[in-house]
Amino acid sequence: MTRHEDKEAAVRRMLDTPHPPVPADLAVRAAASGARRARRERVARRLLWGLFVVAAVAFAVWASAARPWEVPPAETTPPLEGW
């Protein structure tokens, strides 16, 4: 037998056994768990978007105050000769 056939035979043996009983409230618990997870993901997404907006506003305020695109003024002035 090949390895694939061994796995297939093991799965067939497992499926031939009686299935375990399923709790009656399994669907309700699964739905509640899914709702909690969805709520956490929604809150996390909103927090990340809020953080992004705050960072964008902070960058815009810094850029408007610092004006990094302008050339800084010279530290010293050139000597005035020839006047």
Question: For 50-63, what is each residue's pLDDT tens digit?
Answer: 999 999 999 999 99
Dist CA 78 CA 83 (whole Å): 13
Q: Is the dihedral of CA 13, 19, 20, 26 positive or negative?
A: positive
Residue linked to tokens 């299935």: 19
Q: 1 falls in which pLDDT band (50, 70, 90)?
A: low
pTM: 0.59
Structural tokens at position 59: 């960058």
Cα dihedral sign, 73-79-80-81: negative
**Which band of pLDDT confidence, cut at 50, 70 and 90, is reported for residue 79?**
confident
